[in-house]
Every structure is written in structure tokens, then in C-alpha cells.
Amino acid sequence: MSDCIRCQKCGKDVPEDEVFATEGKTFCEDCYIDVNNRIRVCDPWGERSKKIYRESHGLEGTDGLTDQQKEIYEYIQSQGKATMADIGKRFNLSEAELNNQFAILRHCQLLKGKKEGDSVYIVPW
């Protein structure tokens, strides 16, 4: 039996030959995918690329979004604002999934973050 190493994200013991290492940390396969599959929210090049792509394909508003992205956008439109925790709970999304969905909606210039006091809300662009 091979030695096990603890995943630094979820804490699961993983056989040494099944460990993934990145950024100086060791992960199980699921956590490695989570860590490396994130979309940067504050990414000017991502936003610019998305804008050029959408314009060149004639996409406006929610055109080209997934059903879930449309639902998140419509929820924020109807509520005016919501915290990431509220959105994650309402749509049953993990933190990583929610961050990816928000990043896409931000790159499309549909939603953005707004700080009010000590809280950050997701609001329409």
C-alpha cells in the first residue's frame, strides 16, 4: 500500500501516486480541477476579449449565455442586488462554480460587484 498525502484543500487522504501538485500545494484530483478551472473575475483582457467576441457575433444582453447564467442575471435584475452567498445558496452552487459564473457575467458587462459598507453585493452593470 502506498503512502497517502493529505489534500491541502479538502483534507482527503490521497495515495501518493494520485496527488496533483500546483502552486506549491498538493491536491486530490477533484480539488486540482477546481483550483485550475477558475476564471479570473477582474481580468481586463478577459473582459475585452469577451466584448469583442460578443460584438463580432451580434450577441447582446443575455444572448449566448447558459440557462443558469441567464437565471442568475435575471435574479439580480429583479432583486437589484445580492451577496455571493445569497446567489450560491439560491442556485446551489459551490464557491468555485459561483465565481466562474460571476466572472463570465462580469466579462459580458452584465453584472459587477459593488461595496456597500462592509458587504460586497452583485449588482447590474
Identical fold at 4-36 and 44-124? Answer: no
Cell for 85?
A: 452567498
CATH fold of 4-36: Wheat Germ Agglutinin (Isolectin 2); domain 1 (3.30.60)
The domain 44-124 having CATH identifier 1.10.10.10: the answer here is yes
pTM above 0.75, yes or no: no
Cα angle 34-54-86, degrees, rounded to a multiple of 5 = 45
Each residue's pLDDT tens digit, 19-31: 998 888 999 988 8
Q: How confident is the model at residue 1 (pLDDT cuts 50, 70, 90)?
A: very low
Quote the pLDDT of residue 2: 63
Each residue's pLDDT tens digit, 99-111: 999 999 999 999 9
DSSP 51-119: HHHHHHTT--TTTT--HHHHHHHHHHHHHS-B-HHHHHHHHT--HHHHHHHHHHHHHTTSEEEEEETTE
- The domain limits of the chain are 4-36, 44-124
